[in-house]
């Protein structure tokens, strides 16, 4: 009989891709989310529109012989959403309720295993002040000092999951994602992250003009392509290792160079204008020593390859949106 998985946040970017992957592996998948995936990445065998802040809905989602839960539901977005301070109460309240309710639902339904998607945003700001030399090894999390409430909620929830593991014997798997990107992710509207924003800006710009980049552009990051992320999640779930463990790329790049990459891929002549905006920490890179050791995993493709696929998809969305606007007017 095929295994049954519940994917929470299945209407989101990573959730949508994870559902597809689980099905390719022969799982029967139930997805739950506040909404369907807006880009058509809806492949769950059963899709429930439901709010995991409601404990009764979480309990119901965990019924029916589910073997594994993947808890990705969170109130999140890019820097424009989580670093401005304007959404802090919602981010903390909404995400923590999803986690508390799902853990209780898993315990009550007797489900053996749950995956939790934490974030690199839980790492202390003091280790990420030097853009050329950030420290994000898993054991550098304490003394805790994340630079956002989003990061604090992730750190608290990691501890919540570990407590359920210690006290109730639920097998927990915790990953700290570092900037996951790719097609069928949020690309506009304020919740998009840097890779999608760069691609959108380059795709929308007139040849010979410029694109705006938040901050001085010297801040550094690394980005992991969605297929690689899903592969690492599946390996972690099947391994005899709880984590927390980084799932990210070690190919670090300064944000202005990243913008140049998007411009090059677009084939247009564009310049960069650095403007004031929320940027987060000065430097961040994944440290993959632990995941190499424990799961024998490392990304296989370059950032450029992932960005080419992402640009192609976002460019299509931009063209489609323009066409729709022309039809209406
Ligand atoms: P996403 O916003 O596309 O997906 C999250 C989904 O959760 C959304 O579809 C949203 O509607 C759903 N959700 C939110 N509140 C809910 C609720 N109360 N009930 C039901 N569903 C609810 O984000 P994503 O990029 O797919 O991220 C998935 C997970 O990975 C999140 O937990 C996020 O914090 C974590 N993460 C992502 C990244 C990244 O780079 N994308 C990095 C670090 C961590």
Which residues, judged by CB distance below 6 Å to any ligand atom, belong to the binding site of ligand 1? 9, 11-15, 33-35, 51-53, 72-76, 94, 98, 117, 119, 177, 179-180, 186, 193
Comparing 7-11, 188-192, 231-235, which segment has the lowest mean pLDDT? Answer: 188-192
Positions annotated as catalytic residues are: 150
pLDDT at 79: 79
The ligand 1 atom at the shortest distance from the C-alpha of residue 15 is 26
pLDDT at 109: 98
| Per-residue pLDDT at 329 exceeds 80 | no
pLDDT digits (tens, 9 = 90+) for 266-285: 999 999 999 998 888 999 99
* Cα(140) to centroid(ligand 1), Å: 25
pLDDT digits (tens, 9 = 90+) for 296-323: 999 999 999 999 999 999 999 999 999 9
User: CA 196, 202, 207 angle in degrees (round to 5)?
Assistant: 170
HSE, CB side, 13 Å, CA atoms: give it for residue 215.
19
Neighbours of 166 (CB within 10 A): 10
* Domains present along the chain, CATH in parentheses: 4-181+225-247 (3.40.50.720)
* Cα(249) to centroid(ligand 1), Å: 19
pLDDT at 120: 96
Question: Which residue's CA lies nearest to atom 35 of ligand 1?
Answer: 117
* Cα(278) to centroid(ligand 1), Å: 20
CB environment 48-58: b (16+ within 10 A), e (fewer) = eebebbeeebb
Question: Which residue's CA lies nearest to atom 16 of ligand 1?
Answer: 73
| Per-residue pLDDT at 210 exceeds 80 | yes
* Cα(74) to centroid(ligand 1), Å: 4
């Amino acid at each position: 009989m095929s295994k049954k998985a519940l994917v929470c946040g299945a209407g989101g970017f990573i959730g949508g891709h994870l559902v597809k992957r689980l099905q390719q592996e022969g799982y029967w998948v139930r997805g739950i989310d506040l909404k369907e995936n807006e880009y058509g990445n809806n492949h769950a065998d059963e899709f429930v529109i439901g709010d995991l802040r409601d404990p009764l809905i979480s309990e119901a989602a965990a019924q029916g012989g589910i073997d594994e839960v993947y808890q990705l539901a969170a109130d999140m977005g890019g820097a424009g959403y989580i670093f401005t301070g304007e959404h802090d109460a919602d981010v903390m309240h909404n995400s923590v309720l999803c986690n508390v309710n799902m853990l209780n639902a898993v315990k009550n339904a007797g489900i053996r295993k749950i995956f939790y998607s934490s974030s690199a945003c839980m790492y202390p700001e003091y280790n990420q002040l030097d853009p050329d030399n950030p420290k994000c090894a898993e054991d550098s999390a304490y003394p805790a000092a994340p630079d956002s409430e989003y990061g604090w909620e992730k750190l608290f929830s990691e501890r919540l999951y570990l407590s359920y593991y210690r006290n109730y014997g639920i097998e927990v798997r915790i990953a700290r994602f570092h900037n996951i990107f790719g097609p069928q992710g949020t690309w506009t509207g304020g919740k998009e992250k840097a890779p999608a924003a760069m691609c959108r800006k380059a795709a929308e710009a007139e040849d010979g003009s410029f694109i705006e980049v938040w901050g001085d552009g010297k801040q550094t990051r690394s980005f992991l392509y969605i297929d690689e992320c899903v592969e690492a999640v599946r390996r972690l779930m099947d391994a005899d290792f709880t984590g927390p463990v980084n799932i990210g790329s070690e190919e670090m790049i300064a944000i202005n160079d990243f913008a140049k990459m998007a411009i090059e891929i677009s084939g247009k002549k564009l310049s960069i204008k650095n403007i004031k905006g929320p940027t987060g920490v000065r430097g961040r890179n994944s440290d993959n020593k632990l995941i190499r050791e424990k799961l024998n995993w490392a990304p296989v493709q370059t950032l450029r390859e992932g960005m080419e696929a992402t640009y192609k998809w976002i460019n299509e969305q931009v063209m489609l949106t323009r066409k729709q606007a022309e039809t209406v007017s």
